[in-house]
Amino acid sequence: MIRGNRARYRQLAGCGLNLFTRDELDQIHYATLEVLEETGLFVDNAEAREIYYSHGCRVDNAKKIVRIPPYVVEEAIRSAPPKVVCYGRDPKYDLVLEGNRVAFINFAVGIKMRDLETGEVRESTKQDVAETALLCDALSSVDAYDQAVIPRDVPAMVANLHAAEVVFDNTTKPVFTEAESGLEMRALIRMGEVIAGGAEQLRRRPIIWGGGCPVSPLQLSDELCELLIEAARAGLPCLVLSQALTGASAPVTLAGGLIVHNCEVLGGIVLTELVRKGTPVVYGSSTGMFDLSCVNVPMGSPELALMSAAVAYMSQYYNLPSFVAGT
């Protein structure tokens, strides 16, 4: 089992980045609770809205708006485990996510590749998924694998299932699996049960993950709700990862963007915990900045590094493991 080095570990040598005081973190949390209770989230799934409603949330089905009381949010945060283990097919690669431990994973999910033989940029294929998984399996600096590219040479409706097939054939490290619908999630769970040796074995050592990305600003799509509900019911861990863009789908300021991000992630975490209390969750972020002058998203910008650091602070504030974009 792998336990990464600690970040922000108190010692007499080295350096650190201190973005917030405890009081400032409290203020971000209080602002998030206010937005979730007063503005709410657009939840485009009837079953999810019923789950929220049955646990004390105010639901406007006509407008598909769910307003979540603070006590529901905070109870969900308390019920989520502070430690999540990412299980690999080989137990020696099991990865512990907790506290301020740091691990590394490849970036995902691209749609094109530069061909190694011709140098030309082309659409990514199933073989590319297999080869990137094999490469990450061999790299000691990569602790887990996320689907690096989408296989564009197979039907889109089952592309993630094709990808999962070759990923599990080419790495024994932990895998963050991808799905885009409840149907695909159920098929992925069945695949995991076959690999693990049964439903109970998969629940004991889950090699399949659920989850996905809210739609900014403040929306949980029908597909994301299905994924979270299916995964939580199966006892699988979930990654809820916001991709808000300050200046586009979120306020232009870092603080405003962080609050929108926090609302979206906590809204998804609340749903998983209402479905199955104690569901392991990871607080995720690929939240970045929209460059209004160039009309693009500069993933290597200093602002992204600041946002990712801020997200890590928020996850530690909630005592939850985090998954953040690099820069």
Model confidence pLDDT, tens digit, residues 73-89: 999 999 999 999 999 99
Residue 254 is predicted with a pLDDT of: 87
Whether the pLDDT of residue 174 is over 90: the answer is yes
What is the rounded CA–CA span in Å between residue 103 and residue 234? 26
Where residue 147 falls among pLDDT bands split at 50, 70, 90?
very high
Per-residue pLDDT at 4: 79
Per-residue confidence (pLDDT) for residue 15, from 0 to 100 = 63
pLDDT value at residue 10: 62
Mean pLDDT of all residues in 33-41: 98
**Structure confidence at residue 288 (pLDDT):** 87
Q: Are 263 and 32 in contact (CB under 8 A)?
A: yes
The answer, yes or no, to whether residue 228 has pLDDT greater than 90, is yes
> What proportion of the chain, given as a percentage, has pLDDT over 70?
97
Determine the residue type at 119: G
Question: The tokens of 147 are what?
Answer: 């689907």
pLDDT higher than threshold 80 for residue 311: yes
User: For residues 95 and 143, what is the distance between their CA atoms, to the nearest angstrom?
Assistant: 7
Per-residue burial over 86-95, b if 16 or more Cβ lie within 10 Å, else e, is bbbbeeebbb
Domain covering 2-7+24-324 in this structure, CATH number:
3.20.20.480
- 14: confidence class by pLDDT, cuts 50, 70, 90: low
Across the range 144-166, mean pLDDT stands at 95
Kindly state the DSSP code that residue 92 receives in the 8-state scheme: G
Give the full edge-to-edge strand order of the sheet including 210-212: 210-212, 238-242, 281-285, 322-324
Dist. CA 187–CA 230, nearest whole Å: 11
Asked if pLDDT for residue 327 goes beyond 60, the answer is no
Give Cβ neighbours of residue 187 (< 8 Å, ≥ 6 apart). Answer: 158, 161
Does residue 321 register a pLDDT over 70? Answer: yes
Q: In 3D, which of 36, 31, 24, 26 has the Cα closest to residue 72? A: 36
Q: What is the residue-averaged pLDDT of the chain?
A: 93
Identify the pLDDT of residue 298.
84
Residue 116 scores a pLDDT above 70: yes
- What pLDDT score was predicted for residue 151? 96
Asked if the model's pLDDT at residue 304 lies above 60, the reply is yes
Helices (H), the chain: 22-34, 46-54, 70-79, 126-138, 159-170, 182-196, 199-204, 222-233, 254-275, 302-317
Query: For the chain, which residues make up each domain, given as ranges?
Result: 2-7+24-324
Task: Specify the pLDDT at position 8.
Answer: 67
- Please report, as a single letter, which amino acid is at residue 98: E
**Contact indicator for 232, 224 with CB cutoff of 8 Å:** no
